[in-house]
Amino acid sequence: MIKRKNTSKISVRGLAIGDGSPVVIQSMTNTNTTDEQNTLEQIQKLSDAGCQIVRIAVPDQKSAQAFKSIRNQTNVPLVADIHFDYKLAIASIEAGADKVRINPGNIGSKERVKAVIDAAKISGIPVRIGVNSGSLQKDLIKKHGGPTPNALLESALEYIKTMEEMKFDDIILSIKASDVLTTIEACRLLSQHSSVPQHIGITESGTVRSGSIKSAVGIGTLLAEGIGDTIRVSLAGDPVKEIFVAKEILKSLELMDGPVVIACPTCGRTQIDVASLAADVENMVSNITKPVKIAVMGCIVNGPGEARDADIGIAGGKHEGLIFVKGEPVKKVPEENLLQELKKFLDSII
């Protein structure tokens, strides 16, 4: 059991973050925000996949107007992502944003930051403050010789101090870099110096293949140490794929309930198509929220043992498989019927 770091608590449209609450999965739309229909459809797809908070880019006034319309057509918690123009942040808050994400470093003067915070106070919503290695303050880069973990920490602590001066503590903070080790160390340092809840992830992590691995290493390491209250797996492409990776990271650390599929890597002894069967099983159970362990094993070496240890499993033989339920063998099934029969037994135990 992972011992979570103690952090303060905030709420986003009634969804609790921090103070030991379950880790929240986030993502971000990649549609043009002014294309309301496509943006709404993507929000719904993300929500259906298990995303709990969706962030939307608001780069201009037309996007702010579209944000208001989108907000009125969905109950999914929405975050307005703001850069550079503080007026867009205020417009998004007035449009019904459940949270705004700002980088005070590119918003401008303290007066402009304060104007955003004052608007957030009036609306009673939290603010996510982003510290990113790609947009770190120039004086900190010069002082530390680059966007080092200590430079990122100093930036974060400066922003926290600014919020304290403005008497605003309804914040969540994120420190992100595309470099995994830099991100891990910076988030560790922040956790040591502050109890502000953290949103964690590896920014610009890459494609689905490389980005999933980098995100699993970075996010997984921090979560295993109890650090992180919300997460985003940032991948190039369809954001819905981010949710699958995020859920698997959380389930692997027992921070989320849901099905876990175990599959052997296959070898020369395998006489059923384990890879295809395991992929079909994953798709079959993707919408199940109850904790269930499913083993798809290809031969008699480890197959019976793993299948017995799972809630339900298959131990492969020669073009057939033996189905186990709660450790007991229940039926020998031809390979072509394994998925169908497995589903029947699975439905009976969940």
Q: Which CATH number fits domain 10-252: 3.40.50.300, 2.40.50.100, 3.20.20.20, 3.30.1540.10?
A: 3.20.20.20
- Nearest CA to 173 out of 16, 2, 7, 3 is that of 7
Residue 164 has a CB neighbour count (10 Å cut-off) of 11
Q: Give residue limits of the domains in the chain.
A: 10-252, 259-349
What integer pLDDT is reported at residue 264 of this predicted model? Answer: 85
CATH number assigned to the domain covering 259-349: 3.30.413.10
**Facing residues of 293 across strands?**
260
Confidence (pLDDT) at 133: 83
Query: What pLDDT does 327 receive?
Result: 85
Distance CA 30, CA 90 (A): 22
Assign 3-class secondary structure to 17-41: ECCCCCCEEEEECCCCCCCHHHHHH
pLDDT of residue 103: 87
- Tokens 């020998």 sit on residue: 332
Instruction: Going residue by residue through the chain, which has 350 residues, state the pLDDT in tens, using 9 for 90 and above.
Output: 899 999 999 999 999 999 999 999 999 999 999 999 999 999 999 999 999 999 999 999 999 999 999 999 999 999 999 988 999 999 999 999 999 999 887 888 889 999 999 999 999 999 999 898 888 888 888 999 999 999 999 999 999 999 999 999 999 999 988 899 999 999 999 999 999 999 999 987 788 999 999 999 999 999 999 999 999 999 998 999 999 999 999 999 999 998 989 888 888 788 888 889 989 998 898 888 888 999 998 877 776 777 778 899 888 888 888 898 988 889 998 999 999 989 998 988 87
pLDDT of residue 121: 97
Query: How far is the C-alpha of 42 from the C-alpha of 95, rounded, in Å?
Result: 20
Q: For the purposes of burial, counting CB atoms within 10 Å of the CB of 268, is it exposed (0-12), middle (13-18) or buried (19 or more)?
A: exposed
Using CB atoms within 10 Å of the CB of residue 48, give its burial: 0 to 12 exposed, 13 to 18 middle, 19+ buried. exposed
